[in-house]
Amino acid sequence: ERSGLSLALNTARGGLRILETLGVVGRQGLGWALGDRPPVPALLRTTFESLGTTYIKLGQFIASSPSIFPEEYVEEFQRCLDRTPPLPFHYIRETIESELGDSLETLYQFVDPKPLASASIAQVHAAKLKNGQDVVIKVQRPGVKNVLLTDFNFLYFAARITERLAPGLSRSAISGVIEELQAGMLEECDFIKEAGNLKAFNVFLRDTGNSQAIAPEPVMSHTTGKVLTMERFFGVPLTDMNVLKKYTDDPAGTLISALNTWFSSLMLCDFFHADVHAG
């Protein structure tokens, strides 16, 4: 009975999500027809943001692929990397308290209500532990997993129809790419796994004698599948050369160290970062 009820609930949520998707696309199309016509890249970006998690992730893919997409689209979708519309703080509080089983004031000395960053799957807030350690809290957006499953199933179905209608497209295996993206994004919803990866990456850096890079250590007492608390690093984007020069006498060497670390992880580590964003 429980599995039947769960199936019914998930089916209902999936149906509502499809209706929501069609509603967003319909509103944007109506606005265009009535004369509200921003540049196409901006219209597409705001549509993706309104559609939420899955489409924001696709927007991040566009932002990180200048060799595939036109420059104006790449620049516009840079906003999807860490500047998507933030969730109200009460959602963040509710998720943390539900996951960690205590009040925010008991768990942390301080949590900044203003997010450091907001992206497709999670939102990040600066905080302090009771012992005064600076940390950041990565909090998963509500219902993300169900949204991903519904959206990608919808996209997969659409891709299969497209491949059947245009057999030449099947060579590009669009549906296969969508399956891979779905599997990868569902893994990103497991913050316990991510915490394990942080620990494993620091071990990898030590084992390879790499003293030029470090990953933040997770705080496991304040971490669950949907909430990840980790050591806070203070820094600047590698893409902002003028700011970077204030922190190092050798910005080029810093960039080279970052690239060497990534390539060594690609060759020698059990896993590597396959979704590298600018900065």
By annotation, the residues acting in catalysis are 275
The Cα–Cα gap between 250 and 245 comes to 7
Q: In one letter, which amino acid is 170?
A: S
**H-type alpha helices, 64-190:** 71-76, 79-82, 89-100, 104-107, 144-165, 174-188
Name every residue whose Cβ is closer than 8 Å to that of residue 108 and which is 6 or more positions away in sequence. 127, 128, 129, 130, 137, 222
Give phi and psi for 128, each to the nearest 5: -130, 135
The Cα–Cα gap between 266 and 204 comes to 12
Give which of 127, 145, 272, 146 is closest to 205, Cα–Cα.
272
